[in-house]
Chain A
């Protein structure tokens, strides 16, 4: 197993109280595998990723419980300096908004080359050559001429390619992509996603794809973890989930995708608002918005039930998963 997150809990201490952002998340990724983490904003999907990368703001953030095993080693037990050496070199991250995530006053060549200078001790000149190589690799035209340019001189799609190039620079084992295509035009989204998937295959990397876009997931992911209020509510191979979701929340998400064959019908929407992390409802956090909710859901927190019915393993955190799966 390349990465295994076990029972991770993260809290944020704010002026208004303690926000429980992540409440016991388990997931894992193998080399060459793509895990899609799905959820609304505030579901804890990005916070989990930041905890894995070790870039959580501490304070106000705090990891209260859990393990993050990377190649068998618990990252949370490492010293900051040891973790730093892993960051960027063995695991890397692609952020959502490349314009703000790239330094506006440093040329892209320097920002790419920096990876080689810091982690490999290369000279400025050699690292510049490496930067050009990387830009070629993510198919930025005229890389040699553009290596000295600044982020604002590139288009949105090109900037995201630079982000990807930066993450790939040292050929890490794991890439975490946090909504890598959300900020892009629809036409560019597919190109960038394809590029990412292709490079992943080539380098046999594990990929954690954080997204709220089910359309993206279907094409590239191997398995899916759906998060809600800091917990995983459903975990399954991608095709199983599309066929028959085992959690009412996943079901709601799938039904809210516009489909051509349902043209003219009213689009489904999950009622209610995402939970307030300062006051997560007792019982199942989804109960106030759930069409299947009954008394038990308001008192008992559902564990992640093993709902395997076919050869492929899957899990759902719904007391009434059977109803959901078959109803």
Chain B
């Protein structure tokens, strides 16, 4: 039966195709993928009386949301009744090269705004930077602390493309990029 022979030939041909279609890169997933994460938030507090005196407080989750938990979540410790110049630094440390995301936020300042709030321990926080439209971004702020107390300080970064409100801004709009509640101690 020649048809049977043909069929067998055909099926063996496909068996070869079946076995040989292999892709090597399946075994070697690329860890350094190029998707963007914010892995690190650092707050730098420079004492207005002595700007060389800088305190750094960091939240660090090197693999981003999910996966392993955060590796570092500092308590913010500031002197009572002191004024600080505060900068927010956002980093992506998941790739092979560290990417400074806060520079990108500055560049797209018209679409972003940080919001700060405190509970328990209080500080008066004022914006000291502006975007191209003259509205605050919050990468640079001034914190005037009150008396000795303990509470929380919450920092929220909102992505508000095309909806960012004029000063003082509207936290209810947009999508949350960062939301962290630090333990806040005024000593």
A binds B: no
Residues of A within 8 A of B (CB): none
